[in-house]
Amino acid sequence: MPEIFPRVCARFHRAVELIGSRWTGAIIQTLLQGKTRYALIRAAIPDITDRMLSERLRSLESEGLVTRRVVPETPVRVEYELTDKGRSLERALKELSVWAERWIPADAPGPAAPVSIPAPREVMAPPQRHDQRPRIRAR
């Protein structure tokens, strides 16, 4: 007679699907460093497209893991920050990092090496991507 395994917990499955979506872990790991702007998240995850980053941030916001705050300045500034619910993933993600250090080879294919992220207040303008033309700001 075949063994019958218990059903996978629906909550566990939902959590793994949420956090396991491509780029989501990297976005959360970046936001664990504190409140930041879109351009800095984008710079920290070099291989992510603007469309994918926008989609993931919207998804994380709808799940209650991230808050989006529009600062009414000229130009308008948008900041992202983890909620308490999002920050509560820190321990689990640290454990996953420990596991990855032990079991994933350093030369395994994947995203580029981590980039240091300056504090949001220290950055004057978002980094230029090679495929963008420089913007001229009116004074």
pLDDT tens, N- to C-terminus, the chain (139 residues):
677 888 889 999 999 999 999 999 999 999 999 999 999 999 999 899 999 999 999 999 999 999 999 999 999 899 999 999 999 999 999 999 999 999 999 887 765 545 454 454 444 445 555 555 555 555 4
The kind and range of the H/E element at 81 are strand 77-82
CATH number for the segment(s) 24-101? 1.10.10.10
Model pLDDT, residue 111: 59
Provide, for the chain, the percentages of residues in helix, strand and coil under a 3-state DSSP scheme, each rounded to the nearest 5: 45, 10, 45
pTM (two decimals): 0.73
Q: Distance between CA 77 and CA 56 in Å, rounded?
A: 19
**89: Cβ–Cβ under 8 A, 6 or more apart, which residues?**
19, 28, 65
